[in-house]
C-alpha cells in the first residue's frame, strides 16, 4: 500500500522539512505527492529552471524512507507566461480574458501554453528520471476547465469537426441543420454554440465532446514525454469522481491507473452513508477495469471561503477504509499541513496551522499502520461485481442540454438504483455502453438517452442470452449525433423490454404549482401506494407483464413497471420516477432474485458492505457510517483481521467502526 500525504515543501521553511519527513515516517507513511502547483518555483523565468530546492526536499524525504510522486505543475501557469503570452489565458463568453491569479485558467488550444507545458514536463522528466525515491507522475491537476471561447478554440473546433465528419454534407445531416435553416455552406461558418438552452442540441453535444478532447490531448502531450524519458515510472491523474464535464474513459486511456480526490464531508451535515463516494470509487475502478489510488483524501474541514464540518473521531479512518474496500491501493491524504497563506487556508490537513500531530494525524497514523498490515492480503485483490451500471457521458451531456422533463438529471436517476444496491450489500461496476456485458448477471441502464443501434443490439443479445436488464424513462430517444430516432420507443429494445411507448408527459417539479403526480400500485410487495413524479411514459405492454400501474383513470391501460421474459433473460422497464425510496429497494430485490445474486451479508441501515477478492482470498469490509453502535449478522468462525478475533455470528461495530473479515 502506498500511504501518505500531499506535501508542499515550498510553503514552509526549509528547516521544517526534516521534522515533517520524520513525522510522516512515524505515522507509517511511505509516499507523498509533490510539485503540484510549483511551476513558477521550478521555472521562475522562461527557460530557466531551478530544481535544487526540490532535489533537497526529495533527499530529506528519502532519508526517512518516503517515496515521491511528482506532478507536472501546469494547473497554474506562472505570471510571466500570462504576461508574455496573454492568449494562453482562456476567453470567457463575455469576450474577456480570464484574469490571471487563480488556477485552471488556461486555453488548451494556445500554442504558447502547449509548448510551455511540454518544456516544463520534459525538463522535469530529464532532471528527476534517476532520482531514487521518485516512483511516478501525476499529470496536471483535476482536468476539467475552463471552457474557452476564443478564436483559436473556434478554429480548432472546426478542424475537429472536419476530421470527425469528413464532409460538410455529413455534418449537416448529423446535426439536422435543415431545421431553422441552419445548413452550413463552409466549415468556417460553424460557430461555438454559446447557449445550450437555445442552440442546436447536436452542435452543443459535439462542442462538449470537443472540450473533453482538448483536455485529453493536453494530457497526452505530457504523457508522451514522460513515457519516453521515464519509462520506469507510472503515470496517473487525480480525477474528481462523478465530475462529468470530461469523458473520463478517454482521459484514463493513456494512464497506468486512475487516482481520484475524495471529499465526502464537504457535502454533508451529520454523518450519513457515503453512497456518492462509494459510487465514485466504483466508477474510478471501472474507467480502466483496475484498482485505483486516492490522491487527495479528506483530512479535515475543507473549503475556500468557509469551511465544512470536521470529521468525527473514527470517521477519517472509515472514509479511508471505504475506498480501500472498493479498490484503492494507494491512500494520500490532502494535505499534510494546513496552509497559512492563499485561498485554501481553510482546507485543513492532517496537521493544523500550528504543525502539531494531534487527533487527525494520530487517526491517520492508526489507519496507515492497519493498512500496511493488511497489504499482503490486499495484494492481488479487487472488487468483482455481479451487477453493472452503464455510465454514459454522451447521455449525461445530452440530458443536460435537452432534459425532456423537468428535473431530469442522470446522477439523480442513477443514484436511486445505486443506493438501493448499496443498501442491499451488493457490489457494482460502472461500464461504458460498448463494454462486454457478459460477465454481469444484472445490468442497469439508467437514462440511456443516447442509444446507438449497435449498443441497443448488444443489450438485446445480452438479455436474450440470459442477462437481467433494467431500463427506464427516456431510454433510446436519440442516436449518437443527438437526433431523435424515428421509431416508437424504446426502439430496438422493444422486443427485449416487451413494451411500446407511443406517448409520454412531464409531471413538473414536485411541490410547484404546475407539478402533479400519479398514484402507482402493484401486486404483492409492490402494492404501494407509491407516487409517480417528474415524468410518466404511457408504456403499453406487448409481451411484458405489468408489475405496477397507474391508478388515474386515463392511465390504467399503461404500466409504470414491467417485466418481460425474453430468450433466457429478463428485461425490466420503469417508465416513471417513483418518489418513495422503498420502491427501489423492492425493485432491486426482484432484479437480484431473477439474476440469482445474493449478498454475503445483508447490512443494517447505515452499514456498508464491500467484497475484495483474488489470489485465492476473499476480504469482506464492513463500515459503519452512523454515530451509533450497529450489530451486523456475519458468517461465524471467520477471522476479523483488525482485531485478530474469530466472528461469532453477530459483529458489533461502534460509531464509524470498521471490520475486515477474511472469508
CATH of the domain at 618: 2.60.40.1180
- How far, in Å, CA of 597 to CA of 485, rounded? 35
Annotated active-site residue 43? The verdict is: no
Do both 391 and 371 map to the same domain? no
> Contact at 8 Å (CB) between 152 and 109?
yes
The predicted structure's pLDDT at residue 510: 87
The range of the structural domain enclosing residue 640 comes to 607-662
Do both 512 and 633 map to the same domain? no
* 601 in any annotated domain: no
Task: Write a three-state SS string for 460-497.
Answer: HHHHHCCCEEEEECCCCCECCCCCECCCCECHHHHHHH
Q: b/e map of 396-422 (b: 16 or more CB within 10 Å)?
A: bbbbbbbbbbebbebbebbbbbbbbbb
Last residue of a domain, one of 560, 595, 630: 595
Task: Tell me how many domains the chain contains.
Answer: 3
Last residue of a domain, one of 572, 595, 618: 595
* 198 in any annotated domain: no
Given 36, 156, 245, 296, which residue is catalytic?
296
On whether the pTM is more than 0.85, the answer is yes
The parts of the chain modelled with pLDDT lower than 50 are none
CATH of the domain at 285: 3.20.20.80
* 162 in any annotated domain: no
Other beta carbons within 10 angstroms of residue 83's beta carbon come to 10
* 380 in any annotated domain: no
> Contact at 8 Å (CB) between 87 and 150?
yes
The predicted structure's pLDDT at residue 270: 84
* 573 in any annotated domain: yes
637-644: long-range pairs with CB below 8 Å, 24+: 638/662, 638/663, 641/373, 641/374, 641/377, 642/370
Do both 583 and 617 map to the same domain? no
Angle at the Cα of 505 (from 503 to 510), degrees rounded to 5? 160
Do both 406 and 525 map to the same domain? yes
pLDDT, tens digit (0-9, with 9 covering 90-100), for 380-404: 999 999 999 999 999 999 999 999 9
Annotated active-site residue 296? The verdict is: yes
Do both 221 and 357 map to the same domain? yes
* 498 in any annotated domain: yes
Do both 319 and 419 map to the same domain? no
Given 142, 156, 245, 363, which residue is catalytic?
142
Last residue of a domain, one of 339, 355, 375: 375
Do both 439 and 296 map to the same domain? no
Amino acid at each position: 500500500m502506498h500511504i501518505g500525504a500531499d506535501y508542499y515543501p515550498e510553503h514552509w521553511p526549509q528547516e521544517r522539512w526534516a521534522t515533517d519527513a520524520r513525522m510522516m515516517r512515524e505515522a507509517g507513511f511511505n509516499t507523498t505527492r509533490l510539485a503540484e502547483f510549483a511551476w513558477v518555483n521550478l521555472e521562475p523565468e522562461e527557460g530557466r529552471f531551478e530544481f535544487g530546492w526540490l532535489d533537497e526536499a526529495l533527499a530529506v524525504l528519502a532519508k526517512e524512507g518516503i517515496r515521491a510522486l511528482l506532478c507536472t505543475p501546469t494547473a497554474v501557469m506562472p505570471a510571466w507566461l500570462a504576461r508574455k503570452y496573454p492568449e494562453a489565458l482562456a476567453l470567457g463568453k463575455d469576450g474577456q480574458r480570464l484574469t490571471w491569479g487563480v488556477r485552471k485558467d488556461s486555453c488548451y488550444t494556445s500554442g504558447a501554453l502547449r509548448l510551455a507545458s511540454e518544456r516544463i514536463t520534459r525538463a522535469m522528466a530529464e532532471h528527476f528520471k534517476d532520482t531514487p525515491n521518485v516512483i511516478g507522475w501525476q499529470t496536471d491537476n483535476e482536468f476539467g476547465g475552463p471552457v474557452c471561447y476564443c478564436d483559436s478554440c473556434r478554429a480548432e473546433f472546426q478542424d475537429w469537426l472536419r476530421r470527425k465528419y469528413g464532409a460538410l454534407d455529413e455534418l449537416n445531416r448529423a446535426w439536422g441543420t435543415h431545421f431553422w435553416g441552419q445548413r452550413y455552406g463552409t466549415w468556417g461558418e460553424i460557430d461555438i454554440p454559446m447557449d445550450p438552452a437555445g442552440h442546436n442540441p447536436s452542435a452543443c453535444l459535439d462542442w462538449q465532446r470537443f472540450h473533453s478532447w482538448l483536455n485529453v490531448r493536453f494530457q497526452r502531450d505530457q504523457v508522451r514525454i514522460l513515457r519516453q524519458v521515464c519509462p520506469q515510472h507510472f503515470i496517473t491523474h487525480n480525477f474528481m469522481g462523478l465530475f462529468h464535464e470530461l469523458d473520463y474513459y478517454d482521459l484514463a486511456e493513456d494512464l497506468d491507473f486512475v487516482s481520484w480526490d475524495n471529499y465526502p464531508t464537504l457535502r454533508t451535515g451529520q454523518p450519513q452513508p457515503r453512497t456518492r463516494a462509494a459510487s465514485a470509487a466504483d466508477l474510478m475502478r471501472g474507467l480502466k477495469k483496475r484498482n485505483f489510488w486516492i490522491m487527495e483524501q479528506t483530512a479535515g474541514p475543507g473549503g475556500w471561503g468557509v469551511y465544512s464540518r470536521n470529521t468525527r473521531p473514527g470517521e477519517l479512518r472509515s472514509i479511508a477504509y471505504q475506498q480501500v474496500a472498493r479498490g484503492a491501493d494507494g491512500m494520500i491524504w490532502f494535505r499534510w499541513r494546513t496552509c497559512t497563506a492563499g485561498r485554501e487556508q481553510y482546507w485543513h490537513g492532517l496537521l493544523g496551522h500550528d504543525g502539531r500531530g494531534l487527533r487527525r494525524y494520530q487517526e491517520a497514523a492508526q489507519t496507515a499502520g492497519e493498512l500496511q498490515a493488511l497489504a499482503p492480503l490486499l495484494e492481488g485483490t479487487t472488487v468483482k461485481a455481479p451487477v453493472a451500471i452503464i455510465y454514459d457521458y454522451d447521455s449525461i451531456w445530452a440530458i443536460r442540454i435537452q432534459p425532456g422533463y423537468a428535473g431530469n438529471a442522470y446522477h439523480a436517476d442513477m443514484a436511486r438504483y445505486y443506493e438501493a444496491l448499496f443498501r442491499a450489500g451488493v457490489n457494482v461496476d460502472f461500464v461504458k455502453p460498448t463494454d462486454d456485458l457478459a460477465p454481469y448477471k444484472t445490468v442497469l441502464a439508467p437514462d440511456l438517452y443516447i442509444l446507438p443501434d449497435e449498443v441497443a443490439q448488444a443489450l438485446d443479445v445480452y438479455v436474450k442470452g440470459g442477462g437481467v436488464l433494467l431500463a427506464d424513462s427516456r431510454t433510446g430517444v436519440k442516436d449518437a449525433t443527438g437526433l431523435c430516432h424515428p421509431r416508437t420507443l424504446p426502439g430496438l429494445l422493444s422486443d427485449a423490454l416487451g413494451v411500446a411507448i407511443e406517448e409520454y408527459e412531464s409531471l413538473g417539479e414536485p411541490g410547484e404549482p404546475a407539478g402533479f403526480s400519479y398514484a402507482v400500485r402493484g401486486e404483492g410487495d409492490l402494492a404501494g401506494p407509491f407516487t409517480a413524479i417528474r415524468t410518466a411514459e404511457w408504456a403499453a405492454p406487448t409481451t411484458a407483464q405489468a408489475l405496477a400501474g397507474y391508478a388515474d383513470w386515463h392511465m390504467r391501460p399503461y404500466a409504470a413497471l414491467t417485466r418481460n421474459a425474453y430468450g433466457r433473460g429478463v428485461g425490466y422497464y420503469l417508465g416513471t420516477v417513483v418518489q418513495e425510496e422503498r420502491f427501489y429497494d423492492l425493485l432491486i430485490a426482484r432484479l437480484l432474485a431473477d439474476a440469482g445474486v445474493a449478498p454475503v451479508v445483508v447490512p443494517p441501515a447505515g452499514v456498508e458492505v464491500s467484497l475484495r477478492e483474488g489470489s485465492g482470498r476473499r476480504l469482506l469490509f464492513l463500515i459503519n457510517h452512523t454515530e451509533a453502535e450497529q450489530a451486523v449478522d456475519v458468517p461465524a468462525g471467520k477471522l476479523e483481521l483488525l482485531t485478530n478475533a474469530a466472528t461469532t455470528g453477530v459483529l458489533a461495530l461502534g460509531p464509524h467502526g470498521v471490520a475486515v473479515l477474511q472469508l
